[in-house]
C-alpha cells in the first residue's frame, strides 16, 4: 500500500508529510504463547501534520501503549505504524513527554537541556542560544543554574517539555504530562503548551483521561473503548482559538457542551 493512499479519517492527507502519523489496522498484544493479552486494536488512525490530537480513554484502555507504538518504543503485533511516511525510530521520531518528568535530578536545568541538544546534534557553540530560546518558550528564563531538585514539579515538567522540543522533530508525544500537577499549574501549562504547538506548527498526540483537558487542548479528540482500545469517537474540535482568552473559552457554552459530550463518550466507551 502506498503511503499516499488515504483512510476515511485522513481523506486527502499526504501521509508522508513530516509529522504525519498513520496507523493501519494496529493491534498490540503483550505476553507470549498461551499467556497473551490484547492491549489495543484494531486501530486505524491518521493524524495529519500540525494537528493536536487529544487521545482520551479510561485507565488501562491502551493509551500509553498506542503512544509507545507511535514513538517506536514498541512494534505492533499486527498492522503498521508510519510517522512522516517511515517506521518510527525510538528517540528520533518524536519528542516524548512522560507523566513524570524523568530528568537527571543532580544536573542543573542547563545540564538537562544541553544533554538533549547534544543528542539532537546541536553544535556546542550553538547550544546557549538554542537553550535560551527553549527555556523562554516554556517560561523558564533565569532558571538555568538551578538543580532539578530545587525547582517545582510544574517547572520540572516545563524542563521536560523544553527537552522534548530540543530535537525539533515535527511530532510531539505527551503521556498525561500534567496529571500529577495542581489545577492552577496544570491550566497554565496547558495554555503554554497550546501556544508552543501553535507557534511551532508541530503535530501533537496528547494522552489524557480528562475530558476538560482534551477539549481545551485538542483540535481533534479520539476516545478509545476499554481494553483492547479501539476508536469509539473521533471528534473534530472547532472552538475559536486565535485571540480568544482562555478563561472565556473555558467558560463558554460550546466548551461546556463539548466537555459533556466527551465525558459521556468516555464513560460509555469504558462501560461497553
Which residues form the interface with Mg ion (CB under 5 A)?
64
| Minimum CB distance to ligand ADP smaller for 155 or for 227 | 227
| Minimum CB distance to ligand ADP smaller for 50 or for 229 | 229
Nearest to 174 by CA among 69, 54, 28: 54
Residues 34-53 that bind ligand ADP (CB under 6 A): 37, 39
To the nearest whole angstrom, how small is the minimum distance from the Cβ of residue 9 to Mg ion?
Answer: 22
Strands 171-175 and 95-97: parallel
| Minimum CB distance to ligand ADP smaller for 94 or for 113 | 94
Place of cell 471528534: 235
Is there binding between residue 214 and ligand ADP (CB under 6 A)? no
Kindly list the distances between the CA atom of residue 200 and the CA atoms of 81, 87, 89, 158, in Å, as whole numbers in the listed order. 24, 23, 22, 16
Nearest to 214 by CA among 196, 244, 200, 194: 194
To the nearest whole angstrom, how small is the minimum distance from the Cβ of residue 28 to ligand ADP?
Answer: 8
Q: How many helices (H) and strands (E) does the chain have?
A: 8, 9
Could you give the count of Cα atoms lying within 13 Å of 231 in the half-sphere of its Cβ? 18
Is there binding between residue 104 and ligand ADP (CB under 6 A)? no
| Minimum CB distance to Mg ion smaller for 50 or for 95 | 95
Is there binding between residue 140 and ligand ADP (CB under 6 A)? no
If contact means CB under 5 to 8 A according to the sort of partner, which of ligand ADP, Mg ion, none does residue 60 touch?
A: ligand ADP
Tell me which residues touch ligand ADP (CB under 6 A). 30, 37, 39, 57, 59-65, 227
Amino acid at each position: 500500500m502506498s503511503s499516499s493512499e488515504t483512510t476515511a479519517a485522513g481523506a486527502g492527507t499526504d501521509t508522508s508529510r513530516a509529522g504525519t502519523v498513520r496507523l493501519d489496522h494496529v493491534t498490540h498484544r503483550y505476553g507470549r504463547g498461551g499467556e497473551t493479552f490484547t492491549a489495543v486494536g484494531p486501530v486505524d488512525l491518521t493524524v495529519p501534520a500540525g494537528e493536536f490530537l487529544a487521545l482520551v480513554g479510561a485507565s488501562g484502555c491502551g493509551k500509553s501503549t498506542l503512544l509507545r507504538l507511535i514513538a517506536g518504543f514498541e512494534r505492533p503485533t499486527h498492522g503498521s505504524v508510519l510517522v512522516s511516511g517511515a517506521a518510527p525510530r525510538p528517540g528520533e521520531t518524536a519528542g516524548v513527554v512522560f507523566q513524570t518528568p524523568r530528568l537527571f535530578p543532580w544536573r542543573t536545568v542547563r545540564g538537562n537541556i544541553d544533554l538533549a541538544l547534544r543528542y539532537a546534534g546541536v553544535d556546542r557553540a550553538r547550544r546557549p542560544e538554542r537553550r535560551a530560546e527553549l527555556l523562554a518558550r516554556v517560561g523558564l528564563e533565569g532558571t538555568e543554574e538551578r538543580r532539578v531538585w530545587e525547582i517545582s514539579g510544574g517547572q520540572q515538567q516545563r524542563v521536560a517539555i523544553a527537552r522534548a522540543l530540543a530535537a525539533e522533530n515535527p511530532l510531539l508525544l505527551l503521556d498525561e504530562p500534567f496529571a500529577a500537577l495542581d489545577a492552577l499549574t496544570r491550566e497554565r501549562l496547558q495554555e503554554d503548551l497550546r501556544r508552543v504547538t501553535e507557534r511551532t506548527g508541530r503535530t501533537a498526540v496528547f494522552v489524557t483521561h480528562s475530558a476538560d483537558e482534551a477539549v481545551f487542548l485538542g483540535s481533534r479528540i479520539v476516545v478509545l473503548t476499554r481494553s483492547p482500545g479501539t476508536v469509539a469517537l473521533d471528534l473534530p474540535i472547532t472552538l475559536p482559538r486565535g485571540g480568544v482568552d482562555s478563561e472565556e473559552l473555558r467558560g463558554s457554552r460550546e466548551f461546556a457542551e463539548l466537555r459533556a459530550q466527551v465525558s459521556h463518550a468516555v464513560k460509555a466507551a469504558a462501560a461497553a
